[in-house]
Amino acid sequence: MISKGYLALFQHALQDDEIRNLVKIWLASFDRVEQVLPGSLAGTSTIELKSEKDIAWEQHLQFRVLAGEDFSWIYLGRGSRVLETSGLPYEDNLMPLEVLTELPGLEEVVDQHNEKRLEELEAEGLI
């Protein structure tokens, strides 16, 4: 296993206001929130977000939420009902799940290894 992660399904598509609220929750709950820089630098550099107002908007957003030595990557698309998380695969790593705790509008959380449910969501056109 190269990562540990989850897919979160929300009741409604995530629009900018909802995304700002998610980042605000992460900022209040964890040590640090970073965003992968958009554009040609995507995937190589991050910037620390001090506020949800610091989000660099693009269609597909990537964040890293940190708590001490642990972290989780978060991937989401504007206008999508789906958010994905990933982290290191060690057994006690709960970060990829913890970043989903208490998020408003969360309908379902699916383990990345639940192929049956992921196939169902894909057939429904959600992923």
Q: How far apart are CA 58 and CA 78, in angstroms?
A: 8
Q: In angstroms, how far is the first alpha carbon of the chain from the final one?
A: 21
Domains of the chain by range and CATH?
A: 4-123 (3.30.310)
How much is the pLDDT for 42? 63
| Residue 43: per-residue pLDDT | 63
72-84 core/surface letters (b: 16 or more CB in 10 A; e: else): bbbbbbeebbbbb
40-49, 52-61, 75-84, range with the lowest pLDDT: 40-49
Q: Helix, strand or coil for residue 85?
A: strand
Q: Using DSSP bridges, classify how beta strands 32-36 and 60-67 pair: parallel, antiparallel or unpaired.
A: antiparallel
Nearest partner of 73 among 33, 110, 37, 41, judged by Cα: 33
Nearest residue to 29 via CA among 90, 76, 95: 95
List the one residue out of 98, 32, 102, 34 whose CA is nearest residue 67. 32
In this model, does residue 90 exceed pLDDT 90?
no
pTM for this model (two decimals):
0.90
How far is the CA of 9 from the CAs of 12, 53, 55, 62, 77, in angstroms?
9, 24, 22, 17, 12
Q: Does position 40 have pLDDT exceeding 70, yes or no?
A: no
Q: What are the beta bridge partners of residue 10? A: 106
Segment 69-88, tens digit of pLDDT: 899 999 999 999 999 999 99
CB 118 within 8 A of CB 7: yes
